[in-house]
């Protein structure tokens, strides 16, 4: 039986938020000294929001009628561009016919660098509602918010030893905050969180390293402040040390084959996660297999592109394909870009389509569960109840 619900007017903010400061150039992260393609042409920033056709002026609540909400069935979804929320039914809504189409929540990219590649508006227009910025200069923390449909949470600079990664390479311009020893590094954690960082990122196994006691102390103080800790750890030993120090999430799928000990460390216990970034490192079979094994062991997989290193403006078809190669089916891939990161990062109003959630919805011409490759090319993008595409 068809359940048909019209959601009308509710309240408050949508998925819009703060974008961090802008930065100029391309870079290659990690040892992958990859060539970065030229930036794409200017995106579709600044397009006026609106209900029906793209670019139309917002006039009130819009109902997407007749579509299948993936995982829920036939549902009409109403969104209020004034509040950015999914709302209750009303006969007065503007109707957009999406019969025969599929609806999902908009995506969350759990690894970007928007100070290097400032395309917040273009990302939102392409279907990304939120992003986790995993290294930006400290000067971008607490900067006045720039109006954008993209919500961004950020680590600020990586907390690194003197001359540590990435201060001697792509991140020389402030992408690492240097400190030596536990008291100094605890001070840096406190300073960054005070200035607006919402999580902490540390490099391990990539040049000089913090002492294991310092790594653990940084994680402890971050956790005490309610901040998660991400590790840039590409090698097996580095990933093992990250787990031992109490870190929560691997910023990349490690590229070196993981040993049983390291797998066990990242899959036992308490909801540890790994951000995929498979395409950013070339999608090598070893890396893909690491992700498969981490997931099979119970680690949470979060879709992430390492935007800045990669240059896909939107949801990455290559990353989707590599997630499939790692054994994720359509539902698991969708989860890695929606519900799972919303839960992991505390983005409570994203990752689901439901009353009171943000009006961040993608519309597809084909069922993304059966054809996950379509996730990269939504037919419609709605962010905060406003049509972007």
**Positions in the binding site for Zn ion (CB under 5 A):** 29, 306
- 258's CB contacts (< 8 A; 6+ apart) are 236, 239, 266, 290, 293, 294
Greatest extent of the chain over all pairs of C-alpha atoms, in Å: 64
CB of 232 to Zn ion, least distance (A): 7
Q: How far is the CB of 166 from Zn ion (least distance, A)?
A: 9
Which of 23/330 has CB closer to Zn ion? Answer: 23
| C-beta of 7 vs 281, nearer to Zn ion | 281
Q: What minimum distance in Å lies between the beta carbon of 371 and Zn ion?
A: 29
List CB contacts of 368: < 8 A, sequence separation 6 or more: 70, 102, 104, 330, 334, 374, 375
Return d(Cα 90, Cα 297) in angstroms, integer. Answer: 46
Alpha carbon distance 165, 308 (integer Å)? 17
Helix 212-224 and helix 236-244, axial crossing angle in degrees, nearest 10: 50
Minimum separation from the CB atom of position 171 to Zn ion (A): 10
Q: Rounded to the nearest whole angstrom, what is the least distance from the CB of residue 211 to Zn ion in the complex?
A: 24
The smaller minimum CB distance to Zn ion, of residues 29 and 93, is found at 29
Helix 285-297 × helix 317-325 angle, to 10°: 60
Residue nearest to Zn ion (CB): 306
CB of 27 to Zn ion, least distance (A): 9
- Rounded-to-integer distance, Cα 99 and Cα 74, Å: 9
Considering beta carbons, is residue 336 or 384 the nearer one to Zn ion?
336
CA–CA distances in Å: residue 75 to residues 5, 81, 340, 353: 6, 19, 22, 10
> Which of 388, 356, 362, 378 is closest to 84 using CA atoms?
356
Rounded Cα distance between 74 and 1, Å, is 9
With respect to Zn ion, which residue has the nearer C-beta, 173 or 365?
173
Which of 39/356 has CB closer to Zn ion? 39
Nearer residue to Zn ion within complex by CB, 29 or 319: 29
Q: Give the DSSP H/E element, type plus range, for residue 194.
A: helix 182-194
Closest CA to 309 of 184, 47, 133: 133
Cβ 134 to Zn ion, closest distance in Å?
A: 5
- Phi and psi at 302, nearest 5°, equal -115, 125
Residue of 158, 122, 170 whose CA lies nearest to 23: 170
CB of 245 to Zn ion, least distance (A): 19
3-state secondary structure of 78: strand
Closest to Zn ion by CB, 222 vs 234, is 234
Please say which residue, 310 or 380, places its beta carbon nearer to Zn ion.
310
Q: How far is the CB of 124 from Zn ion (least distance, A)?
A: 20
Taking the C-alpha atoms of residue 70 and residue 141, their distance in angstroms, rounded to an integer, is: 37
């Amino acid at each position: 039986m068809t359940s048909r619900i019209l959601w009308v007017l509710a309240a408050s903010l949508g998925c819009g938020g703060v974008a961090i400061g802008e930065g100029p150039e391309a870079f290659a992260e990690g040892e992958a000294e990859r060539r970065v393609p030229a930036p794409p042409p200017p995106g579709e920033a600044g397009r006026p929001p609106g209900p029906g056709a793209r670019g139309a002026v917002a006039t009130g609540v819009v109902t997407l009628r007749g579509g299948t909400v993936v995982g829920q069935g036939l549902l009409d979804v109403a969104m209020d561009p004034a509040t950015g929320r999914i709302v209750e039914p009303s006969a007065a809504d503007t109707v957009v016919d999406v019969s025969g189409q599929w609806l999902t929540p908009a995506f969350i990219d759990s690894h970007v660098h928007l100070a290097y590649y400032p395309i917040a508006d273009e990302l939102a227009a392409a279907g990304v509602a939120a992003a986790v910025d995993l290294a930006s200069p400290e000067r971008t923390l607490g900067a006045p918010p720039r109006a954008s449909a993209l919500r961004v949470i950020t680590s600020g600079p990586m907390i690194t030893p003197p001359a540590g990664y990435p201060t001697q390479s792509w991140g020389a311009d402030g992408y690492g905050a240097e400190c030596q020893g536990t008291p100094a590094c605890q001070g840096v954690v406190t300073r960054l969180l005070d200035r607006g960082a919402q999580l902490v990122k540390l490099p391990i196994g990539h040049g000089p390293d913090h002492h294991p006691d310092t790594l653990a102390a940084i994680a402890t103080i971050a956790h005490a402040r309610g901040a998660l800790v991400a590790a840039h750890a590409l090698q097996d030993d580095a990933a093992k040390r990250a787990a031992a120090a109490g870190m929560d999430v691997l910023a990349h799928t490690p590229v070196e084959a993981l040993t049983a000990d390291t797998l066990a460390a990242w899959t036992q216990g308490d909801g540890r996660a790994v951000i995929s970034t498979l395409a950013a490192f070339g999608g090598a079979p070893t890396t893909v297999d690491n992700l498969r094994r981490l997931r099979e062991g119970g680690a949470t997989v979060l879709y992430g592109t390492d935007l800045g290193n990669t240059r896909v403006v939107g949801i990455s078809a290559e990353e989707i394909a590599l997630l499939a190669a790692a054994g994720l089916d359509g539902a698991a891939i969708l989860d890695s870009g929606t519900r799972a990161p919303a839960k992991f990062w505390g983005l409570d109003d994203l990752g689901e389509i439901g009353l009171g959630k943000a009006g961040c919805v993608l519309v597809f011409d084909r069922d993304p569960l059966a054809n996950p490759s379509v996730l990269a090319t939504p037919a419609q993008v709605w962010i905060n109840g406003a049509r972007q595409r």
